Amino acid sequence: MLEYGTIYKKNRGRIMKSAEVIINGKNYIYEVGTTLLEISKEFKEEYKNDILVAVLNGKVAELNNVITEDSTLEFYDISSSLGSLVYENGLTFLLIDSFKRVLKMDITINHSIDKGVYFETSKIISESDLEKIDLDMNEMVQKNVPIEKKLVNRMEAIKYYTKHREDDKVNILKYTTNTNVNLYKLNNTYDYFFSYLPISTGYLKKFNLTYISSNGFVISYPNLYTNKMHKYKHHEKLFNEFNEYNSWTQTLGVRNVTSLNYKISKGNFNDIIFQSEAFQNNKLYKIAEKIYNNVNSKVILISGPSSSGKTTTSKKLKLYLKNFGLDVLSISIDDFFLDKEDTPRKENGDYDFESVNAIDINLFNKTLKKLISYEKVKLPRYNFILGKKEFETVPTKLNENQILIIEGLHALNDVLTNEIDKKYKFKIYLSPLTVLNIDNHNRFKTTDNRLLRRIVRDNRTRGYSASDTLANWNNVREGEEKNIFNFQDSSDVVFNTSLVYELNVLKTYVEPLLYSVEENDPNYKEALRLLNLLKNILPMPSEDVPRDSIIREFIGNSYFE
- Which domains, from first to last, does the chain contain? 8-76 (3.10.20.30), 82-220 (3.30.980.10), 236-555 (3.40.50.300)
Distances (CA, A) of 397 to 17, 121, 154, 411, 430: 81, 56, 67, 21, 29
Given a contact cutoff of 8 angstroms between Cβ atoms, the answer to whether 210 and 232 are in contact is yes
CA distance 345 to 305: 22
Distances (CA, A) of 129 to 133, 134, 205, 209: 7, 9, 20, 11
Residue 247: CB atoms within 10 A of its CB come to 11
Long-range contact pairs involving 226-231 (C-beta distance under 8 Å, separation at least 24): 226/481, 227/48, 227/49, 227/78, 227/79, 230/114, 230/115
How confident is the model at residue 6, as a pLDDT? 35
Tell me the backbone φ, ψ of residue 197, rounded to 5 degrees: -125, 160
Classified as helix, coil or strand, 182 is strand
How confident is the model at residue 16, as a pLDDT? 63
Positive or negative: CA dihedral 315, 317, 318, 320? positive
Alpha helices, DSSP H, located in 348-411: 361-372
How confident is the model at residue 3, as a pLDDT? 37
- Residue 430 host element (H or E): strand 425-431
How confident is the model at residue 207, as a pLDDT? 96
CA distance 492 to 320: 18
Q: What is the residue type of 452?
A: L
How confident is the model at residue 9, as a pLDDT? 44
Strand partners, 9: 16
The pTM score is: 0.89
CA distance 102 to 503: 36
CA distance 53 to 36: 9
Q: What is the residue type of 297?
A: S
Given a contact cutoff of 8 angstroms between Cβ atoms, the answer to whether 33 and 51 are in contact is no
Given a contact cutoff of 8 angstroms between Cβ atoms, the answer to whether 123 and 451 are in contact is no
Classified as helix, coil or strand, 148 is strand
Positive or negative: CA dihedral 533, 78, 473, 63? negative
Strand partners, 211: 217
Question: DSSP E strands: which ranges in 3-106?
Answer: 8-11, 14-23, 26-31, 53-56, 59-61, 71-76
Distances (CA, A) of 442 to 142, 328, 437, 466, 514: 26, 43, 6, 24, 21
Distances (CA, A) of 15 to 4, 9, 12, 130, 414: 15, 6, 8, 54, 70
How confident is the model at residue 89, as a pLDDT? 94
Mean pLDDT for each consecutive 10-residue tract of the chain (561 residues)? 38 68 92 94 92 92 94 94 93 97 95 90 96 98 96 86 83 76 91 91 96 96 80 90 91 87 86 94 97 94 94 95 93 91 86 88 95 94 91 92 92 93 96 89 92 97 96 89 89 96 96 95 92 91 95 96 85
Classified as helix, coil or strand, 168 is helix
How confident is the model at residue 14, as a pLDDT? 53
Alpha helices, DSSP H, located in 294-409: 310-323, 361-372
Distances (CA, A) of 89 to 86, 179, 229, 395, 439: 5, 24, 17, 56, 14
Contacts of 127 by beta carbon, 8 Å cutoff, 6+ apart:
211
Q: Tally the residues of the chain.
A: 561
Distances (CA, A) of 535 to 164, 172, 396, 515, 529: 25, 10, 52, 12, 10
Q: Give, as one character, the DSSP assignment of residue 459.
A: I
CA distance 375 to 370: 5
Radius of gyration over every alpha carbon of the chain, rounded to an integer in angstroms: 26
